[in-house]
């Protein structure tokens, strides 16, 4: 993955080139077709995702609750708070996304406190929406 691909992602806004290069080393890029299940509610989590292109919908207990697009991220709640996926996420269009496994996600949060703060803020907002 190239650090340049992260420049337009709000989660990584304000990071130096060196910091974005580190994030790029921790992450991979995946491309999936429309209708692909990226995460399923109730499952044990292993990854964190950031959408670069395309879109997805969040489904909780069989009901659509939110649309996601470029710059949105998901998977952090299960990795940090609940230990299980709290919703399913299904691509609604061909999608390109950053994917980071648990170990690398944890390293990113430890090394880049600004990113960790943004993620914690998103968790608070999402938990209040429920």
User: CA 117 to CA 65: how far, in whole Å?
Assistant: 24
Tell me: the pLDDT tens digits for 7-61? 888 888 788 888 889 999 999 999 999 999 999 999 988 899 999 999 999 999 9
The structural domains of the chain, with segments of one domain joined by +, span 3-129
For residue 127, the tally of other CB atoms under 10 A from its CB is 12
Tell me: the pLDDT tens digits for 86-130? 899 999 999 999 999 989 988 888 888 888 787 788 777 766 765
Single pTM value for the model: 0.87
Q: Does domain 3-129 have CATH number 3.40.30.10?
A: no
């Amino acid at each position: 993955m190239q650090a340049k691909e992260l420049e337009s992602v709000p989660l990584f806004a304000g990071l130096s080139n060196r910091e974005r290069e580190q994030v790029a080393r921790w992450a991979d890029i995946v491309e999936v077709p429309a209708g692909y299940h990226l995460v399923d509610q109730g499952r044990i989590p292993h990854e964190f995702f950031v959408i670069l292109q395309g879109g997805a919908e969040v489904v909780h207990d069989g009901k659509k609750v939110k649309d996601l697009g470029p710059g949105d991220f998901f998977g952090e709640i299960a990795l940090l708070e609940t230990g299980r996926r709290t919703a399913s996420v299904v691509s609604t269009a061909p999608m390109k996304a950053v994917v980071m496994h648990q170990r690398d996600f944890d390293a990113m949060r430890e090394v880049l406190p600004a990113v960790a703060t943004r993620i914690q803020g998103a968790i608070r907002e999402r938990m209040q929406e429920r």
